[in-house]
Each structure stands twice: as C-alpha cells, then as structure tokens.
Amino acid sequence: MKPREISVTVNAKHYRSEVPPRLTLLDYLREVLGLTGTHAGCEHGVCGACSVIFDGQPIRSCLMFAIQADGHEVETVEGLAGADGGLSPLQDAFWEAHALQCGYCTPGMLMASHALLRANPDPTEDEIKEAIGGNLCRCTGYQQIVEAVRLAAKRMREADPEAGPEGNKDRVDE
C-alpha cells in the first residue's frame, strides 16, 4: 500500500509525515518521531504501556494506526515536563513516592494518571484505581503508584486551591 501523508500535533508540535497505512500510532511516535518514551508491552491493548492522550482522552497507541491520528492531537510522556525540563507535579510525586522500579510501564501510568487529574483534581482512591486499572505494572504491586497520584493531587490542590479540571499546569523545579 502506498504511503499516506498525515498531519499530527504531538506535544503541541506539528508534524507532517508520510507513513505506511499499517504503521501503528505507537511505532509512528517511536520510530518516525523518535519519541521513545512510549513503550510497547503487549501490542494487543491489554497492558497499557503504550498509553498516550489522544484529543484529551487516554488511549492505547498500539491499537491505532498513525493515519487515524491525522488531524488530531496527541500527548506523550515527553510532553509532561516543562520546556526547561522541570518535572510536572505528577512526575515529581512519582519520584518522591518511588512509584516505579524498572520504569517500563511508567510513561503509560503517568499518562493515565495525568488524564485523571486533569479531569478530576480530587480523586478518591477508587477513582485512582479505576484510572490506572488498565495499566499493568509487574514491579510495584501498584501501592506506591496510587500513593504518588494521591500525593500529586494533594500538592496540586494546595498549590492552586481554585483549580478545577484542566486547572493546574504549574511545573515544579527539582
């Protein structure tokens, strides 16, 4: 099949690319754009390691073709940090709580949690578990991940008590 031209916004940058129609969005991000923070785990939509945010919603990038992202907006783990490299409050909380070991599922966990906190700045424990329920982690037993998301939510609310959904875009310095 002939390559197709697509236009995609990834982490607020615009890209125009020619891609084979069967190229997955995951492989497009990794192999074409060089954004290797998003990982392949199962390639059948169960483990969530490849989670990215697509038009505001967390999705599996292994289950989508790149051409389906034509005209759409994608956010990946590389977009979480500020332009100066400063960590987002969520990333910082993952570090503080040691919410990872090998780091392989971490980008997917971060994107799923990021989408949650953007929509719901004060999630209950059940809501946190629901949000990461489709992301498998083999190292941590999830405990420190849940703790990190709770910590991030608390810190973000304290930093900006008025913030509603979509509110807090602050970065913290290390």
Partner 1 sequence: MSSEAPEGRRFRYVSRKRRTKEDRRFIAGQGRFVADISLPGMKHVALVTSPHPAARIEAIRTEEALKIEGVLAVITGEELARATDPLMSGLNLPDVRRFPLAVDRARYAGEWVAAVVADSRYIAEDGAELVEVDYDPLPFVVDAEEAMNEDAPAVHPAHGTNVLYQRKFVYGAVDDDFAAADHRLAFRACWGRSSTVPIETFGVLAEWHPGTGILDVWASIQMPKYPEQIARALRLDANCVRVHYDVDVGGSYGVKRGIKHTVLVGYLARKLGCPVRLIEDRLENMTGGDAHGPERIFDVEAAFNGDGEIRSLRIRALDNVGAYAGRAPLQLAKPIGAIVGPYRINSVEYEAISVTTNKTVQEAVRGFGQSPTNFAIETAVDKIARALDLDRVEIRKRNFIRKDEFPYTIPSGSEYDSGDYLTVQDKVLDLADFPALLARRDALRAEGTLAGIGISSCLEPSGGNAAFEPLFNPANETTTWMESCVTKIDLAGTVTSIMATASAGQGHETLVATVTAEELERDPDGIRVVRSDSLASLPSNSPVASRMAIMLGGAASGAAKILKRKLIDIAAHNLQLPADRLVYEGGNVAVRDDPGKKLAWDELVEIAHRKYHQMPLGMEPGLQASYVWEVPKGGELPDADGRVRMYPCYSFEAHIPLIEIDRDTGQVKILEYFIGHDCGTMINPDIVHGMVYGGIAHGIGAALYEIFAYNEDGQLLTGTFMDYLLPSVHEIPDIKMVDHSTPSPLTSMGQKGTGEGGYLGAPAAVASAVNDALAPLGLELDALPMRPGDIEALLRTKSG
Binding residues (CB under 8 A) for partner 1: these are 20, 22-23, 30-31, 35-44, 46-47, 49, 76-78, 80-81, 85, 87, 91, 94-98, 100-107, 110, 129, 132-146, 174
Give the Cα separation of 48 and 132 in Å (integer): 9
Q: How far is the CB of 163 from partner 1 (least distance, A)?
A: 22
- Residue among 133 and 161 whose Cβ is closer to partner 1: 133
CA distances from 50 to 57, 62, 121, 159 (A): 13, 6, 24, 30
DSSP line for 107-152 = HHHHHHHHHHHHH-SS--HHHHHHHTTT---SSSTTHHHHHHHHHH
Q: How far is the CB of 124 from partner 1 (least distance, A)?
A: 13
| Encoded amino acid at 35, one letter | L
- Residue among 135 and 168 whose Cβ is closer to partner 1: 135
Q: How far is the CB of 13 from partner 1 (least distance, A)?
A: 15
- Residue among 73 and 96 whose Cβ is closer to partner 1: 96
Asked whether 167 and 160 are in contact (CB, 8 A), the reply is yes
Q: How far is the CB of 5 from partner 1 (least distance, A)?
A: 19
